[in-house]
Structure 1
Amino acid sequence: VIEADEYDTAFFDKRSKFVHYSPNTLVINNLEFDHADIFDTLADIQKQFSHLLRIVPGNGQVIIPDQVDAIEQVITQGCWSDVVRVGKDWHYHANSADASLFNLRRDDNEVAVKLPLVGTHNMQNAVMAMIAAFHVGVLPQQAAEALATFKAPKRRLELLLEHRGIRVFDDFAHHPTAIKTTVEALKKSETGRLVVFLEPRSNTMKSGVHKDALANALADADSINIFAPASIEWDIASAVPNACVFS
């Protein structure tokens, strides 16, 4: 099981890392513009995903969310494997506000899942994992039992400290979509005020490509604090007016 993205392989090989793998079961969770230091447009990234689809064998399977335009555009460029759409072939729905409880259904078969993680993004990741596992012979009920004891990797809403009612989490989210889902997850799962500290560290974030989306991504926080590194190329205070900016 390999997690990979479209970032380039090496300074001497500008192809995306994932074209060096030979997946039989491929999950595409989302497809958005990122890595502005490598790609100029979303179409450049889609081209790499198109190359990836072409190495999945005819008896393989490609699992995607239904009705995501950026992904569908890649599929239409050429895909010779079975395509499974989540939201059409499989269905899921949250049973709790924080999405830690959800049901997954295929045809008339439905299974309830209790996930030790919160947030719609983690629920969607779990759904994709269950469907991928099903393709290699793992029944949904077996997958649900395994997910109930799943332990998240570091920096994925990792609880660092709990003291006198204060809980400190660390998360790697660095794209506005990921930041938004992470903030929403904490807002729904925790009580009291939500204080967010953000450090723009990726090359894309430092360049300001996503600056116009950042205010909305942080909107659910009660207090926003953003570190401004010396290499930042845009005005954080203007992009997120209600943030406390420090260096």
Structure 2
Amino acid sequence: MLEYKHIFFLGAGGIGMSAIVRYCLENGISVSGYDKTPTELTDRLIAQGAEIFFSDTPNLLTSTPDLVVYTPAVPKDTALFKHFEATGLPMMKRAQILGAISKGKPTIAIAGTHGKTTISTMVAHILHTAGFNFTAFLGGISANYGTNYVKNGTGEDWIIAEADEFDRSFLELNPQLALISSIDADHLDIYGTEDALVDSFSKFVGKIKSGGVLIQKSGLPLIQRSDISMNTYHLDAPADYTAALSHEGNGTFKVQLQGKIETQPFSLGLPGRHNLENAVGAAAIASMAGVMPQTIAHALATFKGVKRRFEKCFQGTQWVYYDDYAHHPEEIKATLGAIREMYPAKHITAVFQPHLFSRTRDLSLGFAESLQMADKLLLLDIYPARELPIEGVTSAWLLEMISMNDKQLVQKSQILKALEDTKPGVLITMGAGDIDRLVADLVSWLKIND
């Protein structure tokens, strides 16, 4: 239990931060906070008792907190950050308070440059189905539970945490069970080189408690430890955990877990091979936590997914529309590959919003290769998030690298107009910025024009 009476959260409405805010409110801690704009998440926090400000104005503060928690998404030159820094109040990063919450408790930490949100949410659903006591801090909204903070029973037996590699945040955790799904070049603005990123993941492996367990996708370049159980999972390579599969149509699979877990075949409702592999990893972790194979199979068969992770937003006669968080070339490949597998004869229109100038620069060739898997591309301006512009790095610059005929640079306000002369088929929006704010308007347009 945290020993604070009042905590102020800078960036309270963030997907990772808001789960911690809800935990604090549930445990009797007074919460106030700041976020740039009202959202459904901030509305929920206010309804639960948090005091949230949407103006970067220290004069609005009505009391002095014991602790200030901040997220890197909030720039350090904001008036509130500078105010708290000047007062000398204790300040810690979101990752540090998550480490404090999980300290001394059996923790399941899910890491990886892709897939960690889906796998974390799958693990939470499996443990919930099994009746385990746990508290889960997720990086997305579970479709089964409608929240990114899931508590079952007392919540005390397990902490399930999405372990974020950004800013080396996951090194604040000391898990008993850990999973690493992938290590692809990302956050090079923080790490500098891919080797430094790999080294950070190896340090994360070093944080696993002696006698604990690591589940990793086969082939990752990680250090070996003799004092923990090291296990692998994969669909297409030798591994301790794998699966046999058959297609059921529309990109979904009949799955039979094999290896250290053996189950009867069951239907996995989520499309895409990447989601099937996520399910195998989640099953491995859940098995190590003590869940029986038949319960794992039942839970995965009833898993409904995560908001903005290959989320179907519209199904009509001419159009199908999905929204996805994909913001890395490998994620875009997985998403567009799954759509092509599901709808081999349909025209695919992709709307992509690049996230961060540095990521766009560092991974530009990968973006160019992956985005051309679509039939038509509508490319939005780069979402800056925490960054200032980098000279020469623009969406127009990226568009020139993409080898496809039907491509154009579009402002968000012009998306609906750009769709007017688009061949019906599958529409997919992708990105980690504010592209999700287009979803409601796109669904309304599709209902009229389908």
How many residues end up aligned between the 2 structures? Answer: 234
Out of 172, 179, 187, which is 1:35 matched to?
187
Structure 2 stretches of 5 or more lacking a match?
Answer: 1-159, 384-388, 412-450
Amino acid at match of 1:2: A
Which whole-Å CA distance do the structure 2 matches of 1:159 and 1:225 have between them? 19
The Cα shift of 1:110 comes to: 4.1
Aligned to 1:83: 230
Q: Which has the higher helix share?
A: 2
For residues 130-209 of structure 1, the aligned pairs below 5 Å read 130-190=283-343, 192-206=346-360, 208-209=361-362
Q: What are the within-5 Å matches in structure 2 for residues 115-130 of structure 1?
A: 115-130=268-283
Residues 195-227 of structure 1 show CA distances to partners (whole Å, capped at 9, x for unaligned) of: 111110234433x11111123212432212211
Matched, 1:95 2:246: yes
Q: Residue 198 of structure 2 aligns with which residue?
A: 46
Bigger CA drift: 99-108 or 173-182?
99-108
Root-mean-square deviation over aligned CA pairs:
2.2
- The letter for the 2-side match of 1:27 is L
The code of the aligned residue for 1:38 comes to: I
Q: Report the counterpart of residue 214 of structure 1 in structure 2.
A: 367
Equivalent residue letter for 2:354: P
Query: How far off its partner does 1:103 sit?
Result: 2.1
Q: Please name the residue that 1:11 is paired with.
A: none
Q: Which amino acid aligns with 2:347?
A: R
8 A Cα contact 2:188 2:194, kept in partner: no
Percent identity between the two aligned chains: 26
* Contact 2:356/2:382, CA 8 A, preserved across alignment: no
Matching residue of 1:239: 401
Flag the structure with larger Rg: 2
8 Å Cα contact 2:357/2:393 also seen in 1: no
Amino acid of the structure 2 residue aligned with 1:28: I
Picking from 140, 164, 167, the partner of 1:5 is 164
Mapped contact 1:113–1:148 kept (Cα < 8 A): yes
The normalised TM-score by structure 2 is 0.49
Deviation at 1:177, TM superposition (A): 0.4
Deviates more, 1:130-139 or 1:208-217: 208-217
- Cα distance change on mapping 1:114 and 1:138 into 2, 3 Å: same
Whole-Å separation in 1 of the counterparts to 2:339 and 2:266: 20
> Which amino acid in structure 2 is aligned with residue 83 of structure 1?
M
**Normalised TM-score (structure 1):** 0.86
Q: Helix, strand or coil for the counterpart of 2:258?
A: strand
What SS does structure 1 have at the residue aligned with 2:362? coil
